Every structure is written in C-alpha cells, then in structure tokens.
Amino acid sequence: DALADTFYSVGFVMSLCQLLSILEIFHIADGIEKARLLPRFIQVIEKNILLIMVIMLEEIQSKPVVCVQFFLWNILDLLRYPHELLCVMERPSVAMLWSRYSLWIPLYILSVIIEGVIIYEALPYLEPSVPHLPSLLLLYLLLLAVGKFIFIPSQRFCVTKVELLRWALMDIRIQ
C-alpha cells in the first residue's frame, strides 16, 4: 500500500525538485559545473516529460513503478551531487568518483527500463484522448533505448577513465 501512495505522499515535493533541475543546465552553461551540456539537457528534459505525464495521468500515479522510479532517481542524484560538489570545491575524491560511476551504470540502466515500463503502462490511458500520442511515445521509447544504452554509457565510460587518470596523477604529485 505504501508503494501505491508514494506519489500522493511525496509527489509535489519530488515534482518541484525535478522541475527545478532545469537549473542544472544553466550551471553547465555558466561554467559552475563541468559537464557536457547536451547529455544533461536530454536527461533533464526526459525526466521532466515523464514526470509531467505521471502528474497528468492519475491512473499511473498509484502504480508501484512510479515509487521505484522516484527511488532510483533519488539514488542516482545521491551518487552524483556529492561528487560534483567535491569537484566544484576542487577537492575531488577518487573513491567518490569510482563509487559514483560503478554504481551509476546498473542503476541508470534500471532507471531507463522503469521509465519504459511507466510509458508502456501509460499508453492505454493516453489512447482515447490524443490519437497520435501513443505512436509518438513508442518512438520516444525507441529513442530512449538507443540514447541510453549506446550513447550516454559509452560517453560516461570514456570520461571516467580520463578523470581517474588525471586524479591519480594529481594524487602522485601531491604525495
């Protein structure tokens, strides 16, 4: 029963925080955070589209997959934000970098799968209202799978290797 009531309990706060995540794009553009703009832009927009769909469809709000998705989003953010904070403070931690990217990969893949399940479960509720929306969402699912499973993880892996090497060299110079 707690899984079904998750959206009613934390939906407003989660929605507000997720909508405010648009500020991350401005942080990258202003140079406060060192990250690639396009992948983060796609990630923020994709999360907000899914969240708006969940807000609009009350039938989906009580599904357990919404609770799982909120949980995964929060865990991914708990892995990402401390690492980024340490980088902004110019005190990077190799252990934090390793834990972020090693745990990030399976959680991110699971999150994408859950997003697909939420969209798939929403299709019957969307069909009567807008005739072409289910087709667009199926196309979105295909793009989501291609974008998440091919482009972004491979990009993150390359960035991680470069950062680990750079920080390892910094640790050697300091000692």
The Cα 137–Cα 57 span in angstroms is 14
Confirm whether 108 is a catalytic residue: yes
The one-letter code for the residue type at 29 is A
* Assigned token pair, 150: 């091919």
Confirm whether 140 is a catalytic residue: no
Q: Which of 24, 84, 115, 163 is catalytic?
A: 115
The Cα 152–Cα 71 span in angstroms is 21
Kindly calculate the radius of gyration of the chain based on its CA atoms and give it in whole angstroms.
18
The Cα 61–Cα 69 span in angstroms is 11
Q: Which of 24, 84, 108, 163 is catalytic?
A: 108
23-30 helix and 37-56 helix, angle to the nearest 10 degrees: 170
Give the 3-state secondary structure of residue 3.
coil
* Assigned token pair, 128: 């009567």
The Cα 121–Cα 29 span in angstroms is 35
The Cα 60–Cα 126 span in angstroms is 11
Instruction: Indicate which residues carry an active-site annotation.
Output: 108, 115
